[in-house]
Homo-oligomer: A and B are copies of this chain.
Amino acid sequence: VENYTIAVDAMGGDYGPCVTVPAVIKALADLPHVQIILVGNSNQITKILQKYHYNPCQLTIKHTTDVVMMNDLPAMALKYKTASSMRIAIDLVKTGQAEACVSAGNTGALLAISRYVLKTLPGIDRPAIIGSLFATAEQKNLQILDLGANVDMSAKNLYQFALMGSVLVSVVENITRPKVGLLNLDAVHPAANKIVQQTDALLASSTEINYCGLLTPQKIFSKDADLVVCDGFIGNIVLKVAEGSASYLQFLLKNNFKKYNWLTKITAILIDPLIQSVFKTISSDYCNGATLLGLQKIVVKSHGNAGVMGFTQAIKHATIQIEKKVLTQFAARLNNAP
């Protein structure tokens, strides 16, 4: 295996270096051919590093004190936080010192800075975000795009993202011809929306994409598709409502089991690991790592609240994309596109 380097924004996410540093150590142990540049406050980073054993040849620290905050406006972060850990990590990818960047920081800022610094692929105006919703029972993740904020995307753009997303799903999930579905709100009147109508036609005529047709929101979870395509506004709602209802149901289950008699209480104790295991499959610790699609380089976004296991997943997500040369595959597919 070739050696390569990944730049990690050590300060991003809800927990910063407390999560990112142990996750990097864990990833490096599993991936001896990978080098990581930890970008962030070197005092904080080294303090945590001292607790771990690792191969020092695999790890570099790039010191910087500025940080993009979770509530920074993307445009402001782009303009003023040019010395932030997020920006420096992306710059390292631009200059070729790293092959990919991984960050758990502010999504809007990551999109804006990546787009500005790394540029988009020909014909694509803004990057989209592809990520997984719940993992299915067979451990295949359902992937959905766009989870970013691309409102008013053209049918051509949606089609391009479907092409790239298809490559990514086949690589990441190891599916030869992933089934691609197009989200449509209305089961009765297919494609009332004009963009959906046009995208549907483009996808249906494609030989590169294994298109399985329109999907209503109820059908997202039915495994009819490996990849669901929709615009960023809808994708965002889908993601957040799915997360919200899952944690609400977990709460309901726990509450119900507690409230009955001694038999149900004992059963609740017995069954708890099973319930945990089900809900673990849908947590950000299990399936984590969204990809900014349509950039000239690889940028992976970790869930802000991911723990060590989750952030390690996000790093590995980047390594798979580097090793399988997804960028070359994207370019080839886009060249063939209508």
Contacts and interface: CB of A to CB of B under 8 A. Distances in A.
Interface of A: 70-71, 73, 106, 108, 134, 136-137, 185, 188-189, 216-222, 233-234, 236-238, 240-249, 251-253, 255-257, 260, 263-264, 267-268, 270-271, 274-275, 277-278, 281-282
A267 B256 CA distance: 16
A220 B255 CA distance: 18
A282 B281 CA distance: 22
Nearest to A264: B274
B137 A188 contact: no
B185 A236 contact: yes
Contact of A217 (B70, B134, B237, B281): B237
B264 A252 contact: no
Contact of A242 (B185, B245, B252): B245
Number of copies: 2
Contact of A245 (B70, B245, B267): B245
Contacts of A233: 185
A219 B271 CA distance: 27
A271 B275 CA distance: 11
A141 B77 CA distance: 41
Nearest to A233: B185
Contacts of A137: 251-252, 255-256
A240 B256 contact: no
A246 B244 contact: no
Contacts of A243: 218
Nearest to A70: B188
B263 A245 contact: no
B255 A275 contact: no
A240 B234 CA distance: 12
Contacts of A260: 274
A241 B217 contact: yes
Contacts of A185: 233, 236-237, 240
Nearest to A251: B137
A274 B233 CA distance: 36
Nearest to A185: B236
A142 to B, nearest CB: 9
Given A237-B234, A256-B274, A277-B256, A217 B188 contact: no
A282 B260 CA distance: 19
Contacts of A236: 185
Nearest to A106: B188
Contacts of A255: 137
